[in-house]
Structure 1
Amino acid sequence: MKALALALFLAGQAWAHGVSGIDTANFNAQVRPQDDIYLAVNGKWLDTHEIPASESWDGAFKELRDLSEARSRSLIETASAKKDAVGNERKTGDLYASFMDEGAAEKLGLKPIETDLQAVTMLSSRVELARLLGGWQSGNVKLPIGLYVNIDAKNATAYLPELYQSGLAMPDRDYYLGKDARFVKMREAYQSYLARLFHQAGYAQPDKRAKRAMALETKLAQLQRSRVENRDPQKTYNKMTPAQLAKLAPKVDWRGFFTAAGMAEVGEFNVAQPEYVAGVAKLLQKEPLLNWQDYLIAHILDGYAPYLNKAMVDARFDFYGKALSGTPEQRPRWKRGVQLVESSLGEALGQLYVAKHFPPENKLKMQELVGNLMQAYRQSIDGLSWMGPQTKQAAQLKLSKYMLKIGYPEHWRDYAGLEIKADDLVGNVKRANRFDYQWQLSHLGKPVDRTEWGMTPQTVNAYYNPSQNEIVFPAAILQPPFFNAEADDAANYGGIGAVIGHEISHGFDDQGSQYDADGNLRDWWTAEDKARFHELASKLVAQYEAYEPLPGKHINGKLTLGENIADNVGLQIAYKAYQLSLADKPAPVIDGMSGDQRFFYGFAQVWRGKMRDEALLQRLVSDPHSPEAFRAIGATSNSDAFQRAFAVKPGDKMYKPEEGRIRIW
């Protein structure tokens, strides 16, 4: 424990570089910011840093996640060691203890999932299959149709259950259908992995079973929409009654499905991808029952493998870690244990985290930052040359109704009904999943609870929720290099200020702009303004699609459009907010850097990161965020202030003529 405490202390000191808040030790003096702001700020680190063998990536975000993880470990192990611990503290300690007991997992083997495997083996009809798919919605098994409770996109005061495409173990349908040799290689690795699972579980003909499971999974992939198509909230809103669903996807026992899922009395559903559900309905009838059994057995083994014996844990890591992500070594067991506690008892752990690691003054400083950013956004809307007065008025109304959440929830989740046993790992996983699913069901028929959070306080991230028109900043991200209470404001506005501006702008990106001030999916634009907005957005698509992070693999400008808009606008708004914070006073020169230069250095340093090629391929296919380097250079290249701060001129690699800079909000 002393070693861990020392590590936490050193991590907390890692950014104590003086009042500038800029880590100049990572600078590459051979690269001018006028040519590449990202390499200029992070080049030395990129040249010398090795990604840890147990990780697929590393960087500024990862360092904060490591710190949050280590802090969480300390809290959990303290709780686990307490003989008199009760309530949430007891549950977090016991859940962690059940995961850390490798000997018990080895001794039990596959016994904890025998009943699940038998349930599939004993399936004798399509009716039973439909009921099993409904009843297992709360489990740890990927199923061809997913079901969860969401806010009704067109009635933000009510909840609505949603059916959505699911059932793929690999990151995206491209891994099943793509002709790129890298995808072909992954398909071979995945089928070999499934065969290994069947073999280790004692099933006859493991290769044939794996082939059948893979073939069915590929058919699901062929039915699925692309991630770009799923970014359109109008296309994914298709409210239906059970009768309409039965007409769309006939010959499926939907009554049995929803009864088993605990939704027998629900009268309306959103079907996010109707053509997919209709296609799955046909597969449920046409595919031999044996194929469905092999598919489900494979997914049971895959889903519970992290909580079983070493042979199963290693098999899963060899595919997801080594083959799919390029990671040489398994993460330490304690890290995986913390991850389980986080996913199962997130707010219970969060309550412990906030009490120790989030001082009240941090919240006050954040509120001041957000206030300046909101003022800058209001001014930005008023100054838009491409938007008319009617749409500006609606945009200002939406901005005025933003809800701000900082640090942690007002009300914590109650885990009193969740049973956790220190000697029952798989049982704990199942009960935690069921508990969370029942919590979802408990929302049905009630008004939307706007105090709930979608992230835990110890999560290093932030988000905008269009249905509640809210921006949320968990406690764990409010640390250096994003936010340093001891540093000059320039680095903070370039770091956490741009992150805040990023989240604010999501309400006005190509997706968020389709929701009104009250969170309803409704068109509030004039036709002319919408056309001008899409014209600007198309230019941003083209800019990012020109970037090639991997040989032959460019950024998908349409998939990443919302995040790229947010990066560009967030930077612009953060800079305006920084100027407001100066109150017409000149910024000090610190360590030879002007205030504006420190602002952009602060922005570039938060995107410091490295990623293994296999993990980068996953990101390019499935992640709506551009890789870190292009988040830094993409946004700064469009900034007038950046061009001025570094006297960028024609011939410099980051130079863009004024008429070529893309300015949206």
Structure 2
Amino acid sequence: MKYVRTDLDDNSEMSGSLATNSSATGGSSMAAMQSDDSVLPVGSPGNGVSQPRRITHLHRLGVVIKRCSYLEKLALLAVLVLLLIVLILACMLYNVRLTASSGRLGYANQLYNVTASANSTCTHPVCVQLTARLLSYMNESADPCEDFYEFSCGLFRQRVTIPAGRQQANVFSLQSGANEILLRSLLESASPSVSADADINAELRSNLAALYRSCLNESAREEAGLQPLLDLVAPVGPWAACNATARAYKDGWTIADGLLRSAVFSAAHSENPPFFYLGVTVDIFNTKRRAVHLSQSSTLLLRDDYVRNRTANLAALAESLEELAKLFGLTMTAQDVRNIIELERKIAEISLPEWKRRGSLLMGNSTIKQLQEDFPCINWTSVLLTLLSNSSYAITNDTPVNLHDRSFFEQLCPLLNQLSSDAEQTRLVNNYLLVRSIWPLLPFTTPAAYRIPEKLTYRIRGVHGTEAPWKICVQSVDGIFGFPLGKLFVDSYFLRDSHSAIERLIDSLMAAFNASLADARWMDEATRRQAVGKLDAIRRLVGYPHYFNNATELRRELGGYRLRPDRYFDNVVQIQRESTNRALSRLSEPVRLTFGMTPQSVNAYYSPSFNAIAFPAGILQQPFYRPQFPAYVSYGAIGAVIGHEITHGFDDSGRHHDRDGNKREWWSNGTVAAFDRATDCIARQYEAFTVDGNVQVSGQLVLGESIADNGGLKMAYRAYKQQQKPDEPLLPYLGDRYSREQVLFLAYAQTWCELITPEALRQLITVNTHPPGQMRVWGPVANMPEFGRAFGCRPGSKMNPIDKCSVW
């Protein structure tokens, strides 16, 4: 389970994960940089000056700067920004101390009465930057005992704006944006050409540069046009709406045949296929082997848009589909489009809401034979044999199936049978499969095509403006070719010493959770012993995949691509197909633990099937971690992240998996009943929270993440107190006003500062298992007596209620 909720921009149910923010742009910024590098001498024929002029020191400085490389300019800019921050902070410190000396320090010191100590102050630039950020987001006029989020993040909305083309801004997205600048420098400094005998690192740099430049090469994309996409989807048909294949469609196309071809096509080119998702993954009932995974898929819009009949969003979708039909020359009428939307409504109505599907709670164990008997409307064996034709993974009647959403498939067969009984309905399904085949690939074609899903997203999520071309293409490369890009990121920017430091932090958080297990009086001893065994068995992934350090394995995993700087669509298709073929070819190999996120991801996760926690390099940096951070800041920031992921192994979903990741019931009935009472308290507490006027969440939808947030902060605080040292350096200015414990809570709270459009917020709460940022602060601090003591909150205040919820 991911630590931060996935932005709908980054996991769009409209465009599919591979189509995320990957629209192309015109003109390479590299060309502009190269033109700036040519400096003509004064008086030369090309500079328009006929008489020599005096060369000043300022002019010489300008010439030197112009001759600097991109990275040198970036470094210079960073130095200037840091200097500016130091100057601003100095002014802030002077102004505040002047205010304090006149007896007007304000609410904070009047309440806490924290006196300056003889402890040393951290004067490292990292600490100065940290203090400046903490202060810049805080609203010290707010009462932390009534609203700790407002106290910690009240000025965030004044300091930060939602970037153009995005629906939200938060600490995670800000750091991701900073990473994108670093990734851009890597992509623009690499050459797309490489010799045939180049080593794997040179090959990766070359392919990354070619993919990035092909994305920026809008003229080449315009020249290629839409034909490559039409050629790609043609074998999935024939299509009734395409003049070239309409006759072949009439010769006998069937829904069964269309679903088979669509499933195989979607396996390579879309992670959001029509009707259902079919793949092969780790068997959650026996994690030493693989199994077929079958679950409901998603519609173009969110399920609630159809079920709640959100007419504005449905009208926007109809407009987009009509535009798509016109652009591709499809013989679809306005009525055809309305019929497609009505079909999506029927699919949405038989689909389960996200709060019911969360985790593996509804996952059942079956076989191919049983699947065929239960749901005979689709020839599952034929679909799988076609899908796995290039794999050595054998499909038999006894092949295990992890079936998610059984009730969906019980209703899908009657729907498909109804659609198959009528010629006009069959044509509707044909049109629908064509649209769903084209949709996820639109961002990789012409500007007119990729703006169709982009415009729809903007309309229904309240997004304004357009991101810069380089940002769109960096995000595209990151999404399509993320691990090769991650290799460059790790080599250039990851502090390798961080690995051992994070391992020590994990050790301390594991010890804290072990103590929490000992304190859980509602657990019987037999269950507790097994829980301790599971905790001890948790595996760790830190930084990046192990094969990054082995050239042979690196080439096996990421080598062999031949990308071109003028063929964006072809590049994307090559990567999709080759990645799918490699994944299929390894299905017969032993199951092994691998990183499920790219190294540059600003996120973390827990894998129930592997009983593993993972922390990519992208989150092991500011504002979550730096070696120079005082311990109380590290524990409040990255420590709470680590504790959160550990707790996921024992939340309402993770508890169903044993130490080996197998899904089975290993808790006693009495312990389960006590756990359910404790978690019900959390669910009711979060349902009572309200943000943005009247927005509330489903307590069951956010339950797992809320349990993990509460447990993560408790473990972080406990681990810090177990190793706290009396001579820890204080942060400048903050140290004589707030205790170390208070700053720990502040560091935690500021990881959840955010801005989000009202439209996006109302969509997120229906599908996302992560609650809004305010709730991720309110809930955990309100449930910790230590917070109330640290801030001197009166019992019964909002952040120190009499009745608290506690699980771990």
TM over 0.5: yes
TM-superposed CA distance for 1:83, in Å, is 5.8
Q: Secondary structure of the residue that 1:398 maps to in structure 2?
A: helix
CA distance in structure 1 between the aligned counterparts of 2:518 and 2:306, rounded to whole angstroms: 47
- Is the CA contact 2:142–2:150 (under 8 Å) kept in the aligned structure 1? yes
Paired amino acid for 1:614: E
**Which of 454, 474, 478 is the matching residue for 2:616?**
474
Q: Is 1:88 equivalent to 2:204 in the alignment?
A: yes
Matched-pair identity in %: 29
Q: Which range moved further: 524-533 or 216-225?
A: 216-225
Report what 1:157 is aligned to. Answer: 288
Q: Which range moved further: 577-586 or 386-395?
A: 577-586
Aligned-residue Cα RMSD (Å) equals 2.3
TM-superposed CA distance for 1:621, in Å, is 0.9
1:284-299 pair list within 5 angstroms: 284-287=416-419, 288-299=425-436
CA-to-partner distance for each residue in 1:599-630, whole Å, 9 max, x for gaps? 10111111111111111122101110001111
TM-superposed CA distance for 1:185, in Å, is 1.8
**Which of 551, 576, 579 is the matching residue for 2:721?**
579
Q: Is 1:305 equivalent to 2:450 in the alignment?
A: no
**Which of 526, 529, 533 is the matching residue for 1:390?**
526
Q: Secondary structure of the residue that 1:387 maps to in structure 2?
A: coil
CA-to-partner distance for each residue in 1:139-163, whole Å, 9 max, x for gaps? 3343222122221111011111211
Q: Is 1:147 equivalent to 2:147 in the alignment?
A: no
Paired amino acid for 2:316: A
Q: Secondary structure of the residue that 2:621 maps to in structure 1?
A: coil
- Is the CA contact 1:138–1:433 (under 8 Å) kept in the aligned structure 2? no
- Is the CA contact 1:134–1:260 (under 8 Å) kept in the aligned structure 2? no
TM-superposed CA distance for 1:127, in Å, is 4.2
Paired amino acid for 1:612: T
TM-superposed CA distance for 1:447, in Å, is 1.7
CA distance in structure 2 between the aligned counterparts of 1:177 and 1:282, rounded to whole angstroms: 19
Q: Is 1:58 equivalent to 2:169 in the alignment?
A: yes
Q: Secondary structure of the residue that 2:603 maps to in structure 1?
A: coil
Q: Is 1:178 equivalent to 2:308 in the alignment?
A: yes
Report what 2:263 is aligned to. Answer: 134
Q: Secondary structure of the residue that 2:737 maps to in structure 1?
A: coil
Paired amino acid for 1:250: P
Report what 1:438 is aligned to. Answer: 581
TM-superposed CA distance for 1:365, in Å, is 1.6
CA distance in structure 2 between the aligned counterparts of 1:374 and 1:512, rounded to whole angstroms: 16
CA distance in structure 1 between the aligned counterparts of 2:380 and 2:192, rounded to whole angstroms: 48
Report what 1:352 is aligned to. Answer: 488
Report what 1:277 is aligned to. Answer: 409
1:32-111 pair list within 5 angstroms: 32-80=143-191, 86-111=202-227
- Is the CA contact 1:56–1:325 (under 8 Å) kept in the aligned structure 2? yes
Report what 1:266 is aligned to. Answer: 395
Q: Secondary structure of the residue that 1:458 maps to in structure 2?
A: coil
Paired amino acid for 1:375: A
Q: Is 1:221 equivalent to 2:335 in the alignment?
A: no
Structure 2 residue runs of 5 or longer lacking an equivalent are: 1-69, 86-124, 240-244, 420-424, 549-553
CA distance in structure 2 between the aligned counterparts of 1:349 and 1:12, rounded to whole angstroms: 27
**Judging changes above 3 Å, is the alpha-carbon distance between structure 1 residues 10 and 302 closer, same or farther for their aligned structure 2 residues?**
farther
Q: Which range moved further: 279-288 or 431-440?
A: 279-288
Q: Is 1:253 equivalent to 2:390 in the alignment?
A: no
CA distance in structure 2 between the aligned counterparts of 1:595 and 1:609, rounded to whole angstroms: 24
Q: Which range moved further: 304-313 or 516-525?
A: 304-313
**Judging changes above 3 Å, is the alpha-carbon distance between structure 1 residues 501 and 45 closer, same or farther for their aligned structure 2 residues?**
same
Q: Is 1:596 equivalent to 2:741 in the alignment?
A: yes
- Is the CA contact 1:194–1:210 (under 8 Å) kept in the aligned structure 2? yes
Paired amino acid for 2:680: S
Paired amino acid for 2:167: S
Report what 1:416 is aligned to. Answer: 559
Q: Which range moved further: 643-652 or 440-449?
A: 440-449
1:177-216 pair list within 5 angstroms: 177-179=307-309, 183-216=310-343
CA distance in structure 2 between the aligned counterparts of 1:662 and 1:255, rounded to whole angstroms: 48
**Judging changes above 3 Å, is the alpha-carbon distance between structure 1 residues 324 and 445 closer, same or farther for their aligned structure 2 residues?**
same
CA distance in structure 2 between the aligned counterparts of 1:7 and 1:164, rounded to whole angstroms: 49
TM-score (norm 1): 0.94
CA distance in structure 1 between the aligned counterparts of 2:137 and 2:264, rounded to whole angstroms: 53
- Is the CA contact 2:606–2:649 (under 8 Å) kept in the aligned structure 1? yes
Q: Which range moved further: 423-432 or 559-568?
A: 423-432
TM-superposed CA distance for 1:17, in Å, is 4.3
How many residues of Structure 1 are paired with residues of Structure 2 in the alignment? 656
**Judging changes above 3 Å, is the alpha-carbon distance between structure 1 residues 537 and 10 closer, same or farther for their aligned structure 2 residues?**
farther
CA-to-partner distance for each residue in 1:156-213, whole Å, 9 max, x for gaps? 111112111114122x31121125xxx3321221122111111222223442221122
- Is the CA contact 1:198–1:209 (under 8 Å) kept in the aligned structure 2? no
CA-to-partner distance for each residue in 1:385-422, whole Å, 9 max, x for gaps? 22221111111100100111111111245222434232
Paired amino acid for 2:267: S
Paired amino acid for 2:262: L
Q: Is 1:456 equivalent to 2:566 in the alignment?
A: no
CA-to-partner distance for each residue in 1:60-118, whole Å, 9 max, x for gaps? 11111111111111112222466667421111111112111111112222111122453
Q: Which range moved further: 338-347 or 264-273?
A: 264-273
Report what 2:357 is aligned to. Answer: 230
Q: Following TM superposition, where does structure 1 have runs of at least 4 consecutive aligned residues deviating by more than 4 angstroms?
A: 2-15, 19-22, 81-85, 583-589
CA distance in structure 1 between the aligned counterparts of 2:688 and 2:77, rounded to whole angstroms: 42
TM-superposed CA distance for 1:236, in Å, is 1.6
CA distance in structure 2 between the aligned counterparts of 1:230 and 1:12, rounded to whole angstroms: 47
Q: Secondary structure of the residue that 1:139 maps to in structure 2?
A: helix
**Judging changes above 3 Å, is the alpha-carbon distance between structure 1 residues 259 and 11 closer, same or farther for their aligned structure 2 residues?**
farther
Q: Secondary structure of the residue that 1:219 maps to in structure 2?
A: helix
Q: Is 1:621 equivalent to 2:766 in the alignment?
A: yes
Q: Secondary structure of the residue that 1:491 maps to in structure 2?
A: helix
CA distance in structure 1 between the aligned counterparts of 2:787 and 2:517, rounded to whole angstroms: 21
- Is the CA contact 1:130–1:254 (under 8 Å) kept in the aligned structure 2? no
Report what 1:336 is aligned to. Answer: 472
Q: Secondary structure of the residue that 1:75 maps to in structure 2?
A: helix
Q: Which range moved further: 261-270 or 95-104?
A: 261-270
- Is the CA contact 1:549–1:555 (under 8 Å) kept in the aligned structure 2? no
Report what 1:16 is aligned to. Answer: 126
CA-to-partner distance for each residue in 1:546-587, whole Å, 9 max, x for gaps? 122245431111010000000000000000000112157788
- Is the CA contact 1:158–1:447 (under 8 Å) kept in the aligned structure 2? yes
CA distance in structure 2 between the aligned counterparts of 1:274 and 1:240, rounded to whole angstroms: 13
**Which of 770, 774, 785 is the matching residue for 1:640?**
785
Rg bigger for which structure? 2
**Judging changes above 3 Å, is the alpha-carbon distance between structure 1 residues 117 and 187 closer, same or farther for their aligned structure 2 residues?**
same
Q: Secondary structure of the residue that 1:238 maps to in structure 2?
A: strand
TM-superposed CA distance for 1:20, in Å, is 6.7
CA distance in structure 1 between the aligned counterparts of 2:638 and 2:357, rounded to whole angstroms: 29
TM-superposed CA distance for 1:5, in Å, is 4.8
- Is the CA contact 1:214–1:295 (under 8 Å) kept in the aligned structure 2? no
CA distance in structure 2 between the aligned counterparts of 1:6 and 1:57, rounded to whole angstroms: 30
- Is the CA contact 1:8–1:71 (under 8 Å) kept in the aligned structure 2? no
- Is the CA contact 2:606–2:645 (under 8 Å) kept in the aligned structure 1? yes
Q: Secondary structure of the residue that 1:270 maps to in structure 2?
A: strand
Paired amino acid for 1:189: A
**Judging changes above 3 Å, is the alpha-carbon distance between structure 1 residues 200 and 524 closer, same or farther for their aligned structure 2 residues?**
same
**Judging changes above 3 Å, is the alpha-carbon distance between structure 1 residues 11 and 416 closer, same or farther for their aligned structure 2 residues?**
farther
